[in-house]
Amino acid sequence: MVRRELITAWSDRPAGAIERSDVIAMVRDVRSRRGASAARKAFAQASRVFSWALGNDLGGVKFNACTGIRTGDIIGSIAERHHVLSDQELRAVWNASEEVGYPFGLLYQLLLLTGCRLKELAKARWSEVESDIITVPAIRMKGNLPHVVPLTGLALRLLETVPRFDGPHIFTTTGGRRPVSGFSKAKARLDRLITEPVEQFVVHDFRRTVRTGLSRLGVVDHVAERVVAHIDGGVKRTYNRYSYLSEKIQCANGTCSHHALITPRRLGRQKSGSSDGSASTVSVSVPRKLQSATDPVGRRLLPKGC
Q: What is the pLDDT of residues 131-142, one digit of tens each?
A: 888 999 999 998
Q: What is the pLDDT of residue 227?
A: 83
Q: What is the spatial distance between Cα 38 and Cα 52, in angstroms, rounded to a whole number?
A: 21
Q: What is the pLDDT of residue 251?
A: 61
Identify the weakest region by mean pLDDT among 4-18, 32-46, 97-111, 227-241: 227-241
- Is there a contact between 64 and 47 (Cβ–Cβ < 8 Å)? yes
Q: What is the spatial distance between Cα 290 and Cα 204, in angstroms, rounded to a whole number?
A: 28
| φ/ψ of residue 271, rounded to 5 | -110, 140
Q: What is the pLDDT of residue 262?
A: 52
Cis, peptide link before residue 150, omega less than 30° from 0: no
Higher-pLDDT residue of 291 and 244 is 244
Q: What is the CA radius of gyration of the chain?
A: 22
Q: What is the pLDDT of residue 140?
A: 92
Q: State mean pLDDT over 259-286.
A: 38
Q: What is the spatial distance between Cα 119 and Cα 1, in angstroms, rounded to a whole number?
A: 13
Q: What is the pLDDT of residues 115-126, one digit of tens each?
A: 899 999 999 999
Q: Residues, the chain, total?
A: 306
CA neighbor of 220 nearest in space, from 293, 135, 114, 146: 293
Q: State mean pLDDT over 61-72.
A: 90
CA neighbor of 124 nearest in space, from 133, 112, 135, 111: 135
Instruction: Give the alpha-carbon dihedral of 213, 219, 220, 221, to 10 degrees.
Output: -20
- Is pLDDT of 268 > 50? no
Q: What is the pLDDT of residues 36-59, one digit of tens each?
A: 888 888 999 999 999 999 999 988
Q: What is the pLDDT of residues 198-220, one digit of tens each?
A: 999 999 999 999 888 888 777 88
Q: What is the spatial distance between Cα 153 and Cα 2, in angstroms, rounded to a whole number?
A: 38
Q: Give the chain as a 3 state SS string.
A: CHHHHHHHHHCCCCHHHCCHHHHHHHHHHHHHHHCHHHHHHHHHHHHHHHHHHHHCCCCCCCCCCCCCCCHHHHHCCCCCCCCCCCHHHHHHHHHHHHHHCCCHHHHHHHHHHHCCCHHHHHCCEHHHEECCEEEECHHHCCCCCCEEEECCHHHHHHHHCCCCCCCCECCCCCCCCCCCCCHHHHHHHHHHHCCCCCCCCCCHHHHHHHHHHHHHHCCCHHHHHHHCCCCCCHHHHHHCCCCCHHHHHHHHHCCCCHHHHHCHHHHCCEEEECCCCCEEEECCCCCHHHHCCECCCCCECCCCCC
